Structure formats: structure tokens, C-alpha cells
Amino acid sequence: MSAFLLAAFALTACALLFLLPPLLRRDDAEEGQVRRDDLNLAVLRDQLRELEADLAAGVIGRAAYDSARLELERRVAEEVGLPARVATARAPARWTSAGLLLALPALASVLYILLGSPLALESVRDNPHDAAPQPIEAMVEALAQRLKDRPDDIEGWHMLARSYNALERHRDASNAYAHLLAKTPGDADLLADYADTLAMVLNRSLQGEPEKLVERALAIDPGHFKALALAGSAAFERRDYAAALTRWQKIMDLAPADSEIARSTTASMNEARAMMGKGAPATAKAPVAAASQVAVAGDHRLEGRVEIDPALRAQVKDSDTVFIYARAVSGPRFPLAVLRKQVRDLPVSFVLDDSMAMMPGSKLSDHATVVVGARISRTGSATPSPGEPQVLVESVPRGAKKLQLRLAASGG
């Protein structure tokens, strides 16, 4: 605030420097006139002295002397009257200058209080991180504004929904998916994504409308991996473990045995068997994967696992955000795909694919090699801050599996 006040005072002083000098400075013509008047008066005084000398010497008589002296006095009176008029004319200018000196700063202050935002400076000082929007959040907001006038831009609305999910704005994402569903009701991918997002809005529950959306997706595509995973999770949630096993077994029948999807599904099935009292087979190795990690199959997907060093784990909070992402090797550094987790989820298996794209036209599948990274953010901001722990794996080929990322106190 003090810096702003100093700047305001400096600008006001500059304005006064432009306004006051013309009012205080005597005009050159007037100054010239005064100099001529002084010269004329000196000449008249000399003439008076000569006139008195002529009278004393008898050159002129008393009558001639009186007449000449009267003429000189008249001329002197005329010459003396001009400076008085000039002084009278300059007095208002001086008063005007004094008024400006007092009124201009006061008027500027009153107008700022009435029309400005004095508290905005305090807000920026107290919350410096809010002074400028974060780049990714700003891009998402710009996309949302643009799509208001483009309701039929299906790809754009898909990108908006995925972006909202990446920022954990699940309710906004759900609204975007609802808009898409009205435009393309027969899209199994859309129905599964909408069900997953709606479950997040409903406190991670698939019961009710989310499960109905899942069943609609399976009616369109009975082998849809994500819909099968969600259907199994919905059955597990209501403790129908047999139904959950039936759904998940279909994934096992379709997925490659060494894929991350197969490993995470095996872990989920083992947990269901344990709940049924049947015990888990010895193949249970991988942790349970979230249903949102099961995406449409494709060679461009990246699969891996993020772990955290115990030393770093002791320095961060469970609620700190973990970003797992892939970006281009060169060019813009915004993510091609991003997954958002929390420290409490680590270690965690991940899948990155085109469904997690942040910007239209920039997809993971468009790049032969990418950089894969994981970062812990204490603020939850999508924009990296100096000193945040992160790990990067350079030149990862498209479709790479079994990636291992370990977050350590040194940043990787």
C-alpha cells in the first residue's frame, strides 16, 4: 500500500509541476513592459531636474516652469499607474495557484476513495498467489467461456469435462458430461466417464444414477473395460461380491495377462474373494486400482507405478496433491495427460491415456516419445512451484508399461 501511495503522490506532484509554472510565471511581454516603464520614469526624472536647473539659471520663467512641471507630473502619474494594474491582475493568478496546490491532491484522493478499490491492494498483498490466475486454470476457464457459444462442439466439451476432473472440479465435470450425453446418448465411453465422475460428486458412491449409467454403457458395449470395472465396484459396494467377481472376470478374459489392468483387477477380485471367505490366490501382488484407472484399451497408454521415499513421506501431508502426468519432450509444457491423486494414495498404479487430455488437439497418442513425471504440490496448484518434490522419466516411448517413478526428498 505504501508503494502505491508514494507513486500516487509522485504523479500528483508531476501534474502540479505542469499546471503551476504558467500561472506563477510573469509573462514575457509584461516583464518587457515593466522594464520600459522604469526607463521612461528615469527619463522623466532627468527632465524634471533639467527643468529645475533652467528655472534657477533664468532660462525660463516661473509660468513656463509651472506649465512644464504640470505636464511632467501628469506623465509620471500615467507611468506609475501601470505597475499597479499589473500587480492587481497577477493577484488572482497567485490565488488560483494556491487553490490548485491544495485542491488537486484532495480531489484525487476523494475520487479514488469513491471510485477506486483501496482494499484491493491489501488483498493482493495478503494473497500474492491470487494476484494472477494459474495458467492451466485460466485455460480451462477460457475453454468453458468459448464453449458457451458452441454447444455442439463435442470434442471441446469432452476436453472441458476431463479438464474439470483433473482439477477435481467433479461437479462441473458432471455438468459437462450431462451436456454431452444429451448430444450423444449412445456413446459407451461417455456413459462410463459420466458414471465415474458422478460417483465422485456423490461421495465416491456408484449406487443409484451412476450404476444406471454403467449398465447403459454395457448395453452398448458389453466388453467395455471401464464400464465392467465400475459395475464390479458398484456390486462390491453393496456387498454383492459374487456379482463383482462376475463383472471383473470378464475383464480378465479380455485383457492381456501382463497388463496393468489385469494386475489391478486381480487384486480387486482377491479382495472380493477374501470378503466372501474364500481366501485370495497367491497371485495377489498389485494394490487395488481405482475404477477410473481402467480406460479404453490402446497401444498409446502409459502404465506404471508411483512410490514415495520414506524420508520424503515424513515431510509431507496425507492431503498434499500428487500430479502424475505426461508431457511432450519439446514444445509447450502443459500436460498431454494428467492424473490427480493424494499422498495418502501412494504407492499407486496409474494409467495415462487420451481420455486424460487437457487441451483439444494435444493428445498423448500423437507423440512417439514423452516425458512422464510425478510431482507433490502442497498448495494443490496445477502450476509447479520451486522446491516441490518431483521425479521425471525422459524419452518414454508411446505405450510403455511397468514405468517406475519414485518420489524422493531430493526431487527424484
Number of alpha helices (DSSP H) and beta strands (DSSP E) in the chain = 13, 7
Domain boundaries, the chain: 36-80, 153-276, 302-407
Query: b or e along 353-380 (b: 16 or more beta carbons within 10 Å of the residue's beta carbon)?
Result: bbbbbbbeebbbbebeebbbbbbbbeee
**Does domain 302-407 correspond to CATH entry 2.40.160?**
no
The number of beta carbons lying within 10 Å of the beta carbon of residue 382 is 24
Q: Are strands 403-407 and 302-308 parallel, antiparallel or unpaired?
A: parallel
Rounded CA-CA distance 242/236 in Å is: 8
> pLDDT of the chain along its 412 residues, tens only?
456 666 666 677 666 666 666 655 544 444 444 455 555 556 566 667 776 777 777 767 776 677 667 676 666 555 544 444 444 444 555 666 666 666 666 666 666 655 555 555 544 444 444 444 456 788 888 889 999 999 999 988 988 998 898 888 999 999 999 999 999 998 999 999 999 999 999 988 999 999 999 999 999 988 888 999 999 999 999 999 999 999 999 888 887 777 778 888 888 898 888 888 754 443 433 333 344 444 444 467 899 999 999 999 999 999 999 999 999 888 667 788 888 899 999 999 999 988 777 665 678 888 889 999 999 998 877 777 788 899 999 989 988 889 999 999 864 4
AA letter at 260: E
Buried/exposed code over 300-325 (b: 16+ C-beta within 10 A; e: otherwise): bbbbbbbbbbeebeeebeeebbbbbb
d(CA 344, CA 321): 9
Burial tier of 161 (Cβ tally within 10 Å: 0-12, 13-18, 19+): buried
Task: Give, to the nearest 10 degrees, the angle between helix 225-237 and helix 241-254.
Answer: 160
What values do phi and psi take at 233, rounded to 5?
-65, -40
225-237 vs 188-201: helix crossing angle, rounded to 10: 30
Which residues touch 197 (CB under 8 Å, ≥6 apart)? Answer: 161, 165, 170, 173, 174, 177
| Nearest of 131, 134, 126 to residue 377 by alpha carbon | 134
* Structural domain 153-276, CATH architecture: Alpha Horseshoe (1.25)
Question: Which stretches within 58-149 are classed as H helix?
Answer: 62-115, 118-126, 135-147
User: What distance in Å separates the CA atoms of residue 307 and residue 283, rounded to the nearest whole number?
Assistant: 21
Separation CA 298–CA 289 (nearest Å)? 18
- pLDDT, one tens digit per residue, over 220-273 is 988 888 999 999 999 999 999 999 999 999 888 887 777 778 888 888 898 888
Query: Which residues are 304's β-sheet partners?
Result: 350, 403
User: Are the C-beta atoms of residues 65 and 55 closer than 8 Å to each other?
Assistant: yes
Please report how the helices 225-237 and 209-220 are oriented relative to each other, as an axis angle in degrees rounded to 10: 140
CA dihedral 399, 400, 404, 409 (to 10 degrees): -70
- In sequence order, what DSSP letters do the residues of 116-132 get, joined into one string? S-HHHHHHHHH-GGGSS
**Peptide bond preceding 347: is omega within 30 degrees of 0, i.e. cis?**
yes
